[in-house]
Structures are given as structure tokens and as C-alpha cells.
Structure 1
Amino acid sequence: MNLKTLHIFLIVLGSAFTICFLYLVIPPLSQNFDVFGAFLGGFVNPFSTGYSLDVIFTWFVLAAWILYESKTKGIKNGWIALLLGVVPGVAVGLAYYIYLRGKQSSN
């Protein structure tokens, strides 16, 4: 797989997740705008708690990677990936960062 194919694949995956996220989250959130309650909904049983903690810790791993590479490799605008990692999710933040890293590394 070449870099261009990877970039297209990352854009498709990030876009697909964003569409699914918006489809699933916007309707209930528009009826009851309780962001804290929505966050706590990820912790209603041991299984969802495990998945929620996995996502949270994955975001912290992504943050450590972005901070490290901003200092050592000069990758710029990684903070955008961290914001995207919060909303819509880590999948989009990670896809964006890999895309960004590939673009800046090839220049």
C-alpha cells in the first residue's frame, strides 16, 4: 500500500466513524442535552466501562505520541488530532494524526 492509498483509507475510515457517531449521538443529545450524562452512559456496566476506559487510555497514549513527535520530529498541528480524539472520537483523532504525520514527513 502506498502513502496515497493509506491517506484515502484513513479519510474514509475517519469519515465513516464521524457519520456513525453523528447518526447515533445527535438525536438523543438533541432531546436531552446532558453531555455529562452521555459520558456517564459509557460506564453503566462492567463491559461498557472496560470499553470506555480503553478509549480514554487510548486518547492518553495518542496524546503522549503527539507531544513526543512535536518535540522530536517537529510535527505541527497535532493538537487538532487531540480535539478530534474527544469529539467525535479517538478513531478520528488517530486517523487524522497518521494522515498529518504522513503529509509532514513526505515534505
Structure 2
Amino acid sequence: MTKSAFQYIISFFGILFALSFVYFVVPPLLQDFDPIGAALGGFVNPFSTGYSLDIICTWFVFSTWVLYEAKTKGIRRGWIAILLGVVPGVATGMAFYLIIRMKQEKE
């Protein structure tokens, strides 16, 4: 797989997740504006709790990686990826980070 194909594929999935997030999450959030209730909705049963904890832990690991590479490799703008990892989610944040990382490694 070429680098450009890789970038297109991860861009597609990152954008697809962001659009899915907007489609499924934003309308009910705007209707009953309750961000705390929305966040706690991920913990309504053992299965959703498992998925939610996985994503939360993944975000912490991802954020640690981004901060580490900012210091050791000088990767810039990783903080944007960390924020994107919160909203809309880790899939979009990681896709963004991998793209900026690949572009900066060329320089």
C-alpha cells in the first residue's frame, strides 16, 4: 500500500466516524441538552461500560503517545489530535495524527 493510499483510507474512516458521530449523537444532545447524561449513557449496562472504558483508555494511551512524540520527534499540532480524540472521538483524532505525523516525518 502506498503512503497516499494509506492517508486516503485513514482520512475516509476518520471523516466517516466524525460524520456518524454528528448524525447519531448531536441531534439527541441538542434536543435535551444534557452533556453529563450523554456521557453517562455509555455506562448503562456492562457491555456499553466495557466499550466506553476501552475508548477512554485508548484515548489516554493515544494522548501519551502524541505527547511523547511531540518531545522526542518534534511532531507539531498533536494537541489538535488529542482534542479530536475527545470530540468526535479517538478514531478521528488518530487518523488526523497519523496524517500530520507522516507529513512531518518527510520534512
Q: TM-score, normalised by structure 2?
A: 0.97
| 1:36 corresponds to | 36
Deviation at 1:35, TM superposition (A): 0.4
Partner of 2:48: 48
The letter of the residue matching 1:20 is: S
CA distance in 2, matches of 1:61, 1:46: 22
Which structure 2 segments of 5+ residues have no match?
Answer: none
How many positions carry a matched residue from both structures? 107
Which segments of 5 or more consecutive residues in structure 1 lack a partner in the other structure?
none
Among all aligned residue pairs of Structure 1 and Structure 2, give the percentage whose two residues are the same amino acid. Answer: 58
The aligned residue for residue 26 of structure 1 is 26
SS in structure 1 of the partner of residue 33 of structure 2 = coil
> In the aligned structure 2, how far is the partner of 1:64 from the partner of 1:45?
29
The aligned counterpart of 1:9 is 9
Runs of 4+ in 1 over 6 A off after TM superposition: none
Q: How does 1:84-95 map to 2 (within 5 A)?
A: 84-95=84-95
- Cα shift at 1:10: 1.3
**In 1, Cα distance between the equivalents of 2:36 and 2:103?**
36
Q: Which residue of 1 aligns with 2:67?
A: 67
Deviation at 1:11, TM superposition (A): 1.1
State the Cα RMSD in Å: 0.6
AA in 1 matched with 2:38: A
